[in-house]
Amino acid sequence: MKRPSSPTADVPVAPAEVSTRWKAALTNILKPISILVLAFGIVPIHPLMPNGVYIALCLTGLVLIWRFLPSSNHRLFSIYIVSFALFNALRTFADNTGNPTSVIYPIDLDAAMFGVNPNHWVQAHLYVPSHIGFVGWAAIATYTSYFTVPYWMSLALWRFKPEMLEGFIKAMLVTLGLGLAIYYLAPTAPPWLASEEGHLPSVVRVAEVERNQLWAEAYSKGTHVAGGNDVAAMPSLHMAMTLIIVFALWRANRALGVLGLFYGGAMAFSLVFLGEHYVTDELAGAALAVVGWRLAWRPAKQLAETAGSLVQSSIVVRLQPEAVAQQSLDRAS
């Protein structure tokens, strides 16, 4: 007995439908490519123009993206990339506000927790200037990954967990914004700079020393591209953004979350070993990451109110940093 054919088996696909399918497939390919072009295009052009012009370019880009791209993960990702470039540019002004740079309170807080300065202790035991070794290069690679891993994490979420992308990017942007506000309100010297000024035993900026020996010009240009600021130690946004990646990995997949914990631990060690941050800076960065992550899924009005209160709290800390440190020492003793 002959089986009846499906009602649609012999219906030809209309040319218009074929064209629509091809356009959709092409769009899905071009979107991530356009993101990569934007990510690796807007950041390197920073040294080619005055900082003010670059900031104006980023702000214009944000307006155009918001105005002309339809609401989608593509628009959200584009906003994130341009916002990160804008953050790097704005950070360079944070040490020109006239606010005095704090040096002592993170040293005292680390001493209260450990009895010694962790940066000096780790470098004294593990760093040999003439032979940096595997640990040193692994630490430099981990530290440098901060500039690219958030992009790759965003692309991975877009591809495999698109429902998480909005929350992840919002968490990143909130964390960057709050961190930038604190940089302006409370510039704080990192360990290597405190050591150069005589406030700490020998602590060197390992990444700068080693990479200058390899390619000094490339290191200098890289610092310019990244938006250098020597007194942006508190909080550690390296630690904060790494932990947001860990939170996202944990939420997406527990096995990946465990790997993320190792990455977070490696970043925490690297920042101390390289002389870039105190443990106090890292704890502040971790707290900021928790705040950013929790705020990411709140309504916009509630998010703005909470962010405002956090900035006000940072002003209080900025006005009396040494008093805050002294209170912590008193509690520890």
pLDDT in tens, 69-83: 787 787 888 888 888
pLDDT (0 to 100) of residue 268: 97
* pLDDT tens over the chain, length 333 residues: 555 555 544 555 555 555 566 555 555 555 555 555 565 556 666 667 787 888 888 888 888 888 887 877 878 888 888 888 888 888 888 777 778 889 999 999 999 999 999 999 999 999 888 777 888 889 999 999 998 899 889 889 988 999 999 999 999 999 999 999 999 998 999 999 999 999 999 899 988 877 655 554 544 555 555 556 788 899 999 999 999 999 999 999 999 999 999 999 999 999 999 999 999 999 999 999 999 999 987 765 555 555 556 555 555 445 555 554 555 555 555
Residue type, 319: L
For the beta carbon of residue 285, count every other beta carbon within 10 angstroms: 27
Q: Report the sign of the C-alpha dihedral through residues 219, 139, 227, 107, in that order.
A: negative
Q: Inter-axis angle of helices 104-114 and 321-332, to 10 degrees?
A: 10
Q: Does residue 249 contact residue 211 with C-beta atoms inside 8 Å? A: no
pLDDT of residue 317: 47
pTM of full prediction above 0.85: no
Domain ranges of the chain: 14-91, 100-332
- DSSP assignment of 228-279: --TTB-SS-HHHHHHHHHHHHHHHH-HHHHHHHHHHHHHHHHHHHHTTS--H
The owner of tokens 């630690």 is: 239
Cβ contact 227:46 at 8 Å: yes
Q: What's 204's DSSP letter?
A: -
User: What's the pLDDT score for residue 119?
Assistant: 95
Tokens, residue 148: 């690219």
Determine contact, residues 233/280, Cβ cutoff 8 Å: no
Q: What is the distance between the alpha carbons of residues 144 and 207, in angstroms, rounded to a whole number?
A: 9
The token pair at 283 is 């704890």
pLDDT at position 301 is 52
